[in-house]
């Protein structure tokens, strides 16, 4: 906005000497023309035009807002443009007072109030106030945040799914700056572009226990680029519970469950046998299913290999890795790995685990001969990426650096 009035010509102000004479009860003032600034502002509608004028047309948000003095003898002295929330639109007024132009994009489908101050050839002030709207965008980018509102474990990433793919780096930066995540207690985090339509957000370490996390978008009506504008996005509120971690050691065949850093239970387990080795790395509980049907065909075995109902199952990968009850392998639990990739335990321990954990809690597998957990395409493996590499996936933070020497290795949150 240009909010500093400019005087475009000097005005002669007549001075008046007051003659005070003894015994005379009057004052004598000198004559002259009235000060033009003391006059009531005239309607300047005929002296200016703006880019949304006439016939009910709406201003084009793809173009700057422009105000022009139409008469050679008139000048623009001040312009203010505000949106419905009272926020100012920045702009520049030319030195000759003939033209004002906005220097920031207008929002699409928004209402604005334009106030213009002018001055005619005689120095008299004029005013014009115009209410106008900008045309609605034809291509809107909607954002859907995840997961659903509720309480989660400290390992739950925030997700943002876009309704259209976005590849341009500058457009990505506009989007990323408008997607706000606030945590109480406060924690620093960064968005990471998984692909052209999906972003994940996480802090460097896990979320604090008993935190409140709010997510919202300031993208509505904002020009993103290429004719694309920000659309609606429903805000999201999450909370975290205790910091719960299940540390699964395939080498010792034991799982240690910690609450806020304190071990609360050690459970004999079995993990994947050779050829079906359980994936190493940090995983996040995706779902809890009290009963799920498992078949050998789902992992490439013959249709008759096995087909059974499994109980108290906590899912940790999209491909079907669970922590579940395995009463058929209790003789091997604590001694050998005999499963097809899942983590098996007794029915009593599985029921306890199922009732203790929540979505977003951590399951970390170590000392397995399996592959590493994928970062994105098989669940939430986000925490397996080093913080420095995570920041490189941001369109905003990638050029900054707050990496520590520990970032040179694969990230392993303190357990």
Active site residue 342: yes
Interacting residues of 311 by C-beta distance below 8 A, sequence separation 6+? 290, 291, 324, 325, 347, 350, 351
Q: Which runs of consecutive H residues, i.e. helices, occur in 166-309? A: 169-178
DSSP result, 314-371: EE--TTS-EEEE-GGGTTTTTT---BSSSEEE-HHHHHHHHHH--TT-EEEEES-SSP
Residue 271: C-alpha distances to residues 80, 323, 346 (Å): 68, 9, 13
Residue with tokens 């047309």: 57
- Active-site residue, selected from the candidate residues 192, 324, 340, 367: 324
Round to whole Å and give the CA distance between 271 and 277.
7
Catalytic residue among 200, 253, 340, 342: 342
* CA separation, residue 203 to residues 183, 189, 354 (Å): 10, 4, 27
Is 324 annotated as catalytic? yes
Specify the 3-state DSSP secondary structure of 46. coil
What is the bridge-based pairing of β-strands 262-268 and 139-141? unpaired
- Integer Cα distance of 255 and 266 in angstroms: 6
- Compute CA 68 distance to the chain's CA centroid, rounded to the nearest angstrom: 38
Task: Supply the residues annotated as catalytic.
Answer: 324, 342
């Amino acid at each position: 906005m240009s909010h500093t009035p400019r005087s475009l010509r000097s005005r002669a102000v007549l001075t008046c000497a007051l003659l005070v004479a003894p015994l005379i009860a009057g004052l004598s003032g000198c004559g002259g023309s009235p000060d033009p600034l003391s006059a009531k502002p005239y309607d300047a509608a005929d002296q200016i035009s703006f880019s949304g004028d006439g016939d009910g047309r709406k201003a084009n948000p793809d173009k700057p807002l422009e105000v022009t003095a139409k008469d050679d003898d008139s000048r623009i002295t001040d312009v203010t443009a505000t949106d419905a929330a009272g926020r100012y639109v920045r702009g520049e007024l030319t030195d000759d007072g003939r033209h004002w132009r906005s220097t920031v994009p207008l929002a699409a489908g928004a209402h604005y109030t334009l106030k213009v101050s002018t001055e005619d050839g005689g120095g008299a002030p004029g005013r014009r106030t115009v209410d106008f709207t900008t045309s609605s965008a034809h291509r809107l980018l909607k954002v859907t945040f995840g997961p659903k509102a509720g309480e989660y474990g400290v390992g739950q990433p925030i997700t943002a799914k876009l309704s259209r793919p976005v590849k341009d780096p500058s457009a990505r930066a506009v989007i990323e700056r408008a997607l706000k995540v606030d945590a109480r207690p406060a924690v620093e985090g960064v968005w990471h572009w998984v692909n052209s339509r999906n972003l994940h957000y996480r802090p460097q370490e896990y979320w604090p226990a008993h935190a409140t996390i709010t997510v919202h978008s300031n993208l509505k009506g904002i020009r993103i680029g290429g004719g694309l504008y920000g659309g609606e996005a429903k805000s999201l509120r999450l909370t975290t519970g205790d910091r719960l971690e299940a540390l699964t050691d395939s080498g010792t065949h034991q799982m240690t469950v910690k609450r806020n850093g304190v071990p609360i239970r050690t459970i004999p387990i079995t993990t994947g046998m050779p050829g079906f080795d359980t994936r190493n790395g940090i995983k996040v509980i995706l779902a809890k299913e009290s009963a799920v049907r498992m078949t050998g065909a789902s992992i490439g075995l013959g249709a008759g290999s096995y087909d059974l109902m499994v109980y108290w199952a906590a899912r940790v990968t999209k491909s079907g890795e669970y922590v579940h009850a395995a009463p058929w392998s209790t003789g091997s639990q604590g001694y050998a790995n005999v499963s097809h990739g899942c983590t098996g335990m007794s029915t009593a321990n599985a029921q306890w685990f199922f009732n203790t954990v929540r979505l977003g809690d951590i399951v970390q597998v170590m000392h397995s001969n399996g592959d590493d957990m994928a970062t994105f395409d098989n669940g939430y493996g986000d925490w397996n990426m080093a913080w420095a590499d995570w920041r490189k996936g941001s369109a905003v933070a990638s050029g900054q650096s707050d990496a520590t020497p520990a970032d040179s290795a694969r990230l392993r949150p303190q357990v």
